[in-house]
Structure 1
């Protein structure tokens, strides 16, 4: 290890972060500054912040590990991320979110929903979902960065988690969303360049694009027997239709994350930080390039790691890392890439972790301070910064504690589950809030609650990985899961919970009175 080179790179990185965070702190004067950057964010910063928040170590390390174990079928998630997570999100949801949020003077995603439907319950309940559910997502992001630091720097894993937690907590507490978005733009640039360079070096090392892909296809005879038994067909082909791997890949990973991104509170709030729709339009191209260059590269490299390890170590990736897929990307980087690039890529992993963690901690902090405490105490319009900072500290502690106890190979699964819960709870009422003027308070509450309950029920009693892991079904009913017949134990709850939420929301709305016309006119003024 070149300690001097590593020290120089990390010191320069921290100096840049500190400088950007300082600028954000100096420009943060009010609650609106702290939570929405005074609604005047540059489109490049907004798009890079959105992308860097969206693409975390969970995407690079966790889903890259899935590609290393099962293959390139996960690239369909990239397609869905670009089309749904960027194009649909920006063009069809972002513009209306920005305008309606401005009309209602909303500072957070739960407050946006609460004011749209004139419901303190919706704001508080949404804040609780974020504050209670997001620590699991934050913990797996933290684990992803910690695993790479552990592998690249031979540091104690728990020490890595502590360093990361303290670092991100510091600039989020002082800089608010400006601190988050300014550092996101810096970190997003580092991530994009590093992942593209990684893809180029990987293909160059393995003999070129065509040669490497063909060789990986021909390596199918060494595809894991346990993966074949579950429906896997190779690293360059899609799993067998209807197999357990197919259901997991399609429903949990591709649909759960691809569609779930539309209802991520920490992403939706980005649209309310810009001044006009022009900035959102300008952000679409940058966002699409970012997604394609980052996760697209990570997933391809994850699959190709099998070819590298087989050529140089005579074994495939999952065996090299002892079965923990969260170690595939870190181990490949450490073994296959030049030492200087390992250090540079460490910055990319740190950037991916810090950018996502900072947004998660801020979302949890604002949920606790503004959406839960202030709503319950009926103290709106007071200065929310202090309460939010307390919430951020609590969020950091919760994520750190969970990262110490969660099992291996959890990164991708934890991310998918949180995205699925958010989609089930928020997606129907969020889209309804933007496009259906008839949607009223009663319908929105019914959709929010039914989607949340349906999603949690599926996770606790039907979905095998979470039901067995948590053990609640076993404790209450004496059996691991309620339904053993395939494919239900491997089908993600989003497939059922989102339609349930939508149907309940529509039925209750049509059976109850519309909201006041003057309120609806206020919401949709200029939309």
Structure 2
């Protein structure tokens, strides 16, 4: 379905006008570095919850993971559970309050700075900033792909042009307005996302004759699983894959655990805990964030799987075939084919909101990581200067890198690239972040060791063992003549299950072997 009516143009124009107005408000309220970095630490709980959720759930979840559910089935709903339990409850209740207090006590305005000041290490802050600046463009690139693919499918415009449109719009208000502008626009975009996903679920079940009829039809298609997927352990779209099969390991270790655990150590999410004034605001945000994440992920994964029944009934083909083998096109194809034209307009705004909210946070985080953490604090040793201007320049640079990746990354990459970045963050940051908040005995040496071991063991596993990445990269093939240096089940075990436990062990052992942090510094860090 091609939508190019004047009504569509007016709706998009109004939406963009509101976005830029909110960005302008953020610009007007940004008076000093703390405003630009952590929104002045005065954000309302509702705005926090929707900003966190809209940043967390992007087109990678709706388009990429919805498409993955179209291929792998409803077993992906375990990720929705992990997103709510770990990404909202654990993150807000356990990590959020301690992050807010420690950030305030230490005057930290970024996630790497929180870690660096807790362990009194400019290296930790600089290395963490560099890691984010180098690898987050991969995540931003696939978010761009998700939004651009839907614009391409819906408006019948060139994919490359769609990428540029999204990039220019988001860059305009992020570079000028900082985190205040980002969180204001996130709240609006999160509201649109919630409404759009609610309508998508309702319309899908109406189109397929109700809840029971839809799920029964999908269950009855078990014998239509392609031979290639069946050989990998696929047992049907309403069943988990065969235990221990390659597809089971991909679903459980890479998608469910890789993203479900990695969310806690996401820099662009953790910094939001430092934007509210008290713990009460964090607790209230849980009541909004939980239902929001349930609606976003639960609907996307359910509808993605059900698209198989719809396409088989109408076209005689399963979703992957209809999408030409590109799982990133399953959700756009289903929405444009099955939904009313007016809804397609609404959902296009939903996906624009999802892409823009996540991209804005990613661009802001990448810019502050390079400009503030790497340049000012590590390279310039904390020398005062035009930090905001350097940060804005860093944002522009990382935006360019993200756009280049959006052009060159292969098809069906969204879900896998998301899991790669989340898994890398878990291995590199989670042991150090957990120790910083909950274990006073963790030392600077233990934190540095866990950071380095987690980072490089994760990257090593990706390059030499995990076949999904090792084979396309070709590094192992070039050096050793084989796609992966290990064989069998190891080649489908995600790096998060190997690198993260090793990093935790290293953090504990090295900390116990080194001199404890001075008590006076700990008193400042953990002050109530």
Shorter-chain TM-score bucket reads over 0.9
Equivalent of 1:226, from 228, 231, 240?
228
Q: 2-side partners of 1:430 and 1:201: how far apart?
A: 42
Q: How far does residue 476 in structure 1 lie from its aligned partner after superposition?
A: 2.0
Query: Which residue in 1 is equivalent to 2:12?
Result: 10
Matched, 1:391 2:391: no
Matched, 1:441 2:439: no
Query: Which residue in 1 is equivalent to 2:349?
Result: 347
3-state SS of 1:253 partner: helix
Q: How far does residue 163 in structure 1 lie from its aligned partner after superposition?
A: 0.8
Equivalent of 1:187, from 181, 184, 189?
189
Query: Which residue in 2 is equivalent to 1:262?
Result: 264
> Over residues 444-464 of structure 1, what are the superposed CA-to-partner deviations in whole Å (9 max), with x where a residue is unaligned?
001111111110100000000
> Over residues 171-212 of structure 1, what are the superposed CA-to-partner deviations in whole Å (9 max), with x where a residue is unaligned?
000110011100000000000110111001000110000111
Equivalent of 1:94, from 58, 72, 96?
96
Matched, 1:462 2:465: yes
Equivalent of 2:68, from 66, 69, 73?
66
Matched, 1:236 2:246: no
Q: How far does residue 468 in structure 1 lie from its aligned partner after superposition?
A: 1.2
1:374-413 matches, within 5 Å, as 374-375=376-377, 376-413=379-416
Q: Tell me if structure 2 keeps the 8 A contact 1:31–1:383.
A: no
1:467-482 matches, within 5 Å, as 467-482=470-485
Query: Which residue in 2 is equivalent to 1:246?
Result: 248
Q: Tell me if structure 2 keeps the 8 A contact 1:30–1:383.
A: no
Q: Tell me if structure 2 keeps the 8 A contact 1:429–1:448.
A: yes
The aligned length equals 525
Q: How far does residue 215 in structure 1 lie from its aligned partner after superposition?
A: 1.1
Matched, 1:336 2:317: no
Q: 2-side partners of 1:202 and 1:128: how far apart?
A: 43
1:127-526 matches, within 5 Å, as 127-375=129-377, 376-484=379-487, 486-526=488-528
> Over residues 459-515 of structure 1, what are the superposed CA-to-partner deviations in whole Å (9 max), with x where a residue is unaligned?
00000011111111122222211012x211111011011110011111111011001
Q: 1-side partners of 2:350 and 2:227: how far apart?
A: 34
> Over residues 353-384 of structure 1, what are the superposed CA-to-partner deviations in whole Å (9 max), with x where a residue is unaligned?
11111111111100110101112111345442
The 10-residue stretch of structure 1 (262-271 or 16-25) with the greater mean CA deviation from structure 2: 16-25
3-state SS of 1:487 partner: helix
Q: Tell me if structure 1 keeps the 8 A contact 2:178–2:364.
A: yes
Which runs of 5 or more residues in structure 1 are unaligned?
none
Equivalent of 2:40, from 38, 41, 53?
38
Q: How far does residue 219 in structure 1 lie from its aligned partner after superposition?
A: 1.4
Q: How far does residue 2 in structure 1 lie from its aligned partner after superposition?
A: 4.8
The 10-residue stretch of structure 1 (462-471 or 152-161) with the greater mean CA deviation from structure 2: 462-471
Q: 2-side partners of 1:452 and 1:336: how far apart?
A: 43
Q: 1-side partners of 2:494 and 2:334: how far apart?
A: 30
Q: 1-side partners of 2:6 and 2:167: how far apart?
A: 24
Q: 1-side partners of 2:253 and 2:359: how far apart?
A: 25
Q: 1-side partners of 2:51 and 2:171: how far apart?
A: 17
> Over residues 381-414 of structure 1, what are the superposed CA-to-partner deviations in whole Å (9 max), with x where a residue is unaligned?
5442101100100010000001111000000000
Q: 2-side partners of 1:476 and 1:105: how far apart?
A: 46
TM-score normalised to the size of structure 2? 0.99
Q: Tell me if structure 1 keeps the 8 A contact 2:4–2:155.
A: no
The 10-residue stretch of structure 1 (15-24 or 113-122) with the greater mean CA deviation from structure 2: 15-24
Hey, which bits of structure 1, 4+ residues long, moved more than 6 A? none
Matched, 1:21 2:16: no
Q: Tell me if structure 2 keeps the 8 A contact 1:150–1:160.
A: yes
Q: 2-side partners of 1:382 and 1:49: how far apart?
A: 29
> Over residues 58-107 of structure 1, what are the superposed CA-to-partner deviations in whole Å (9 max), with x where a residue is unaligned?
00000000110111000000001100000000000000000000000000
Q: 1-side partners of 2:395 and 2:417: how far apart?
A: 21
The 10-residue stretch of structure 1 (472-481 or 53-62) with the greater mean CA deviation from structure 2: 472-481
